[in-house]
Amino acid sequence: MLGAGLFPLVVAGCGAGGSEPASITGDQELLQEHGFADADAHEIIDRLEALPVAERPQDLIASVTATSLQLQDDAGREAELPLPEDQFYLSVAPFVETTHECAFHSLTTCRGELRSRELTVSVVDSSSGEVLEEGPRTTHDNGFLGLWLPRGITAELTCTLEDYTGTASISTQAEDDLTCLTSLQLT
């Protein structure tokens, strides 16, 4: 088990970022007990994000920073898994009426307004004009949709729901870039 202070652990939806680990650090039993023994950060994020809210582990906090997935359970055990070096995870909760402030996404506690809704999503690289993502996407039961994007870019994200549209500038360049975008209002 990791001692307190060995790495910064984000235990809520928002917090300070950590440094990129070279490999999985922390309590391997925590990973095994939650069925993640052979999974990498990408797999764990996708699995947790896709779970219906009622099935998400109540005894686990799973937070995503720009460089890692950080886990902590009720027993105080911690583990940190690096994100892929060439990928950045951004979880987006577009909204019409209500939202919450957040910087780093909590896979187990963050909730957005638009649950299980089909949106049209577009992500365009600001430098090259390359379309990185385009088409219909459905938000998960928690109201978020997850985007695996290339690292080192700035882009324009546009989400449309029926007659409502919103656009936001996003970045995957710095260790303190947001992994939880909750300010994208659809008007």
Could you give the angle at the alpha carbon of 136 between the alpha carbons of 131 and 139, nearest 5°? 115
pLDDT of residue 77: 93
- Taking the C-alpha atoms of residue 179 and residue 163, their distance in angstroms, rounded to an integer, is 26
pLDDT in tens, 129-160: 999 999 999 999 999 999 999 999 999 999 99
Cα–Cα distances (Å) from 186 to 9, 11, 157, 160, 165, in that order, read 32, 29, 12, 7, 5
Q: What is the pLDDT of residue 26?
A: 86
Q: Which residue has the tokens 């780093």?
A: 104
The pLDDT-based confidence of 24 (bands split at 50, 70, 90) is confident
CATH code assigned to 87-181: 2.60.40.3700
CA atoms within 13 A on the CB side of 101: 2
- pLDDT value of position 23: 74
Q: Pick left, alpha or beta for residue 135 (phi over 0 → left; psi -120 to 50 → alpha; otherwise beta).
A: left
State the span(s) of the chain assigned CATH 2.60.40.3700.
Answer: 87-181
> Do β-strands 25-26 and 78-82 pair in parallel, antiparallel, or remain unpaired?
antiparallel
Question: What residue spans of 23-155 are helical by DSSP H?
Answer: 28-33, 41-50
